[in-house]
Amino acid sequence: MFGLGRRTQMVTPHEALPGRPAPAFAVPRTHEVLGTPLQGPWPAGAEVLYVAMGCFWGAERIFWRLPGVVSTAAGYLGGYTPNPTYEEVCTGLTGHTEGVQVVYDPARTSPELLLKAFWENHDSTTPNRQGNDIGTQYRSGIYWTTAGQEQAARATRDAFQEVLTEHGHGTISTEVRPFADADGERGAGPFYYAEDYHQQYLHKNPNGYCNHGPNGMTCPVGLIPAQHVAPAQVDVAPPAAG
């Protein structure tokens, strides 16, 4: 399915596929690697961050390996079509990007550390593309659910842009948006879980396709004083997956 459609212009709401009122497939309840809930409920105090960085297979593996991460899941967000399938998303006619839901314990890690892994493991300067994977479903994005995540997203983006510029690279194209509607801006949610075979794909298929790895540059951290990070969190309860 790689590159199917190769649509590089975002679909409009009127052009988008109609979708369906309920999921077309069942989704596992348990994370194949971590043994934790895939769809919640999350432990008390857990926070949720959503990211997109190309094909979600390799992206999800990056995060389930990080200390402090409670659960991860592959899915679709930022589009218009309700309850899309993988085949529909790959046409570019749903508006979704392939994303990863990252549930983490803020007592053991931070949005800055998670986003350090994000910036260092894909090319954030290629709009709607990661390598040979071309299309709006491969666009880069950070979708925040807390004020602290938003602050970390903007601070790390600006700091990493300086690193890119110093090394002769281009401008970051990553979209930074709220997951839920905020201040008149349309949120990237809801998050629709991807099909069973996409969840923890590279654990199930160790030699499977992966388009992620170190890009050779380091994202600065320690940019945000802890006492300035607001603890407020919006409702990020995942949708029922059937």
**Nearest 5 degrees, angle CA 234-CA 239-CA 242?**
165
pLDDT per position as a tens digit, 135-167: 999 999 999 999 999 999 999 999 999 999 999
Which parts of the chain register pLDDT below 70? 1-5, 226-242
What domains are there in the chain, each with its CATH number? Answer: 47-216 (3.30.1060.10)
Q: What are phi and psi of 177, to 5 degrees?
A: -140, 155
Choice among 55, 90, 210, 219 that is catalytic: 55
pLDDT digits (tens, 9 = 90+) for 180-191: 999 889 999 999
Active site residue 90: no
